[in-house]
Amino acid sequence: MADTIVILTGAGISAESGLGTFRDTDGLWSKVRIEDVATPEAFARDPARVQEFYNMRRTQAAGAAPNPAHHALARLQRDHPGRVVIVTQNVDGLHEAAGATVLHMHGALDRALCAACGHRWPAPAEMRPEEPCPACDAPAGRPDVVWFGEMPHHMEEIAELLAAADLFVAIGTSGQVYPAAGFVQEARLAGVETLELNLAESDVSAAFDRHEIGPASEIVPDWVD
């Protein structure tokens, strides 16, 4: 095994747990418009619509269980302490449910964030349009997720981890959303080996040294074991 591995996961790793992806046929963005639910402007315009969308997603995630791909990554991390970093764009919590520790670039469905004071707290199952902040009492509670135009989390830490890694692996992500889509280039510039695991070729497959095609529940355990 490579000395240190940085693994980036996307919606594809949770597809076989029953959670829809965003851009596949029948994906979430074919049913709702990004501009209606996944931007700060959408929340300012219609908080009820946005909370309803994320309440639905929170319910779905709470009813989902990790699949063999999540379990395989948790096993890899446990068997190689300090050498496997998992960065996820997913907000579903299935990596943690499998026992892994992950960096959440795009936030988490089970947390709420106060748009007025920045306080974070565990999200109730059903957030209200004017969810009160427990710290400052402003009716400004929103899902603690990263919308378009907002800065993803842990960016400096991820850049340092990528530059110091021996292997970068992207699993189940379409490579259409930045900055995560640029990690493969960052890794290559730093001389890091790159591997993509995906159900199909993605927009950025050609940028990887190697890629394996297949469902995550099969190709991730195969790669780990």
Does the footprint of ligand BJW cover residue 189 (CB under 6 A)?
no
Q: What x-and-dash track marks residues 104-143 binding ligand BJW by CB under 6 A?
A: --x-------------------------------------
Question: Residue 51 or 173: which CB sits closer to ligand BJW?
Answer: 173
Report the alpha-carbon distance of residue 38 to residue 42 in Å, rounded.
Answer: 7
Q: Answer yes or no whether residue 159 interacts with ligand BJW by CB under 6 A.
A: no
Please report whether residue 176 would count as binding ligand BJW according to CB under 6 A: yes
Q: How far apart are CA 48 and CA 128, in angstroms?
A: 7
Catalytic residues: 106
- Contact between 179 and ligand BJW per CB under 6 A: yes
Q: How far apart are the first and last CA of the chain?
A: 10
CA–CA separation, 31 vs 23, rounded Å?
A: 10
- Mark 145-180 as b/e (b = at least 16 C-beta within 10 Å): bbbeeeebbeeeebeebbeebebbbbbbbbbebeeb
82 binds ligand BJW (CB under 6 A): no
Q: Give yes or no for residue 27 binding ligand BJW (CB under 6 A).
A: yes
* Cα(38)–Cα(65) distance, integer angstroms: 25
Using the rule CB under 6 A, is 38 a contact of ligand BJW?
A: yes
- Based on the shown chain and the rule CB under 6 A, indicate whether residue 72 belongs to the binding site for ligand BJW: no
Residues forming contacts to ligand BJW in the complex (CB under 6 A) are 10-12, 15-16, 21-24, 27, 38, 89, 91, 106, 145-152, 172-174, 176-179, 198-200, 202, 215-216
Q: Residues within the annotated binding site?
A: 10-29, 54, 57, 89-92, 114, 117, 133, 136, 172-174, 198-200, 216
